[in-house]
Copies of this chain bind each other. A is one copy, B any other.
């Protein structure tokens, strides 16, 4: 692509990525985690794009977290060695994980049950290989993991250790997504830390090794004040940020690096509707701000040059149609005149991971210029 393409010449919808904002977000998280004395292991499920991951590595991250073995495959092929697959390992993925290790990928996995630990141990004993495994800890009751204090932790640890696979403990305080004050977020970061430290201590008390102590979510990573004993922090969505993160309070709306470029394609003047060609296929069905103080519908509206238009919102969406209207429900008679057919708008996403997954490339923008196109992948 011509390096000086004007984004106003793109067919819509298109996914825009503001490089300068992304770089700032990367620098901010890297500085925060380095200051805490931990290694940053970015969760690359958000971008699934090598130029983005390379920027995170260039800024100081030496390792990554993935949500699929496809991400592990792709980024190992791109040159990343140290990878944590942070979803409890299904038995049908053990062979694939071992194959990645056999090809030189320093892949680690997670489990939270004796059954899964036994499956890992059995596969390793059968093949003479080793699959470093962290025990997932439930620090906030929101999903998977062993609860601190549960004796099954040591049982799992023994099974893994006997096969030479016990690498440590990890947790993800996804419950932080439901908070929105600095105090509550700091408390959640402390709770996340204390949960893994307690489990690490329990393993060590049982004379089991626990080299890696891993925590993380974007809100807790940015709210933590001290993490002694934690070796690494994982975070993903910070690289782009989104409206959910702005609602939680860990970024400003101006930090959001991702937006969807869309065109006005019609009006229903009597209802105050501006119809655009970005529907839920372009925005994703994610309505993560619905439970926050400010509900952004399917996305927050900005002008083509990125200026927020907070009086508008995308209150409804069909597959390829977004319905933009006044947030206060009013129906100004001059709305079609202010946003005529062909008007370009940008829509900030509720959830960057979900919106980016709808596209196969990022259009990298500086001002109104497209300076690059970065491919991304999806799927498993």
Among A123-131, A208-216, A239-247, A275-283, the one that faces the other chain is: A275-283
Q: Which of B87, B277, B287 contacts A321 (CB 8 A)?
A: B87
* A93 surroundings in chain B (CB, below 8 A): 11-12
A265, B90: Cβ atoms under 8 Å? yes
- Choose one: B9, B11, B280, B321; the contact of A354 (CB below 8 Å): B280
Q: Least Cβ distance of A345 to chain B in Å?
A: 12
Instruction: For the complex, give the distance between the alpha carbons of A90 and B343 in Å.
Output: 9
Chain B: CB-nearest residue to A283: B285
Contact with B along A146-176 (1 / 0, CB 8 A): 0000000000000000000000000000100
A280 CB contacts on chain B under 8 angstroms: 286, 354
- Given A115-B340, A357-B358, residue A277 in contact with residue B11 (CB < 8 A): no
Interface residue A360 (Cβ < 8 Å from any Cβ of B): yes
Contact B353 A378 (CB under 8 A): no
- Taking CB atoms, residues of chain B closer than 8 Å to A39 are none
Q: Using Cβ atoms and an 8 Å threshold, which residues of chain B touch A144?
A: 265-266, 268, 275, 321
Sample of 9 A–B contacts (CB below 8 Å): A11-B69, A45-B319, A87-B265, A87-B277, A116-B266, A119-B342, A143-B321, A357-B358, A378-B378
The answer, yes or no, to whether A318 is at the interface (CB within 8 Å) is: yes
Number of interface residues of A (CB under 8 A): 59
Contact with B along A280-300 (1 / 0, CB 8 A): 111011110000000000000
| Cβ-defined partner of A174 (8 Å) among B9, B282, B286, B318 | B318
Whether the pair B342, A263 counts as a contact (CB closer than 8 A) is no
The CA-CA distance from A110 to B358 in the complex, in Å, is 24
Give Cα distance in the complex from A282 to B380, angstroms. Answer: 9
Contact of A360 among B87, B112, B119, B379 (CB under 8 A): B379
Q: Contacts A144-B268, A319-B67 hold; do A277 and B90 have CB atoms under 8 A apart?
A: yes
Q: Are B143 and A323 in contact (CB under 8 A)?
A: yes
Q: What is the CA–CA distance of A234 and B224 in the complex, to the nearest angstrom?
A: 55
- A353 / chain B contacts, CB cutoff of 8 Å: 281, 319
Partner of A287, one of B116, B174, B282, B285: B285
Nearest-neighbor residue (CB-CB) of A351 within chain B: B285
Q: What string of 1s and 0s marks CB contacts (under 8 Å) between A85-113 and chain B? A: 00111111100100000000000000011
User: Would B341 and A115 count as touching, CB distance under 8 A?
Assistant: yes
Give the distance to chain B from A359, nearest Cβ to Cβ, in Å: 6
The reply to whether A341 and B11 form a contact with Cβ atoms under 8 Å apart is no
Is residue A10 within 8 Å, beta carbon to beta carbon, of the partner chain? yes
Complexed CA–CA distance, A360 and B380 (Å): 9
Chain B residues in 8 Å Cβ range of A92: 9-12, 263, 342
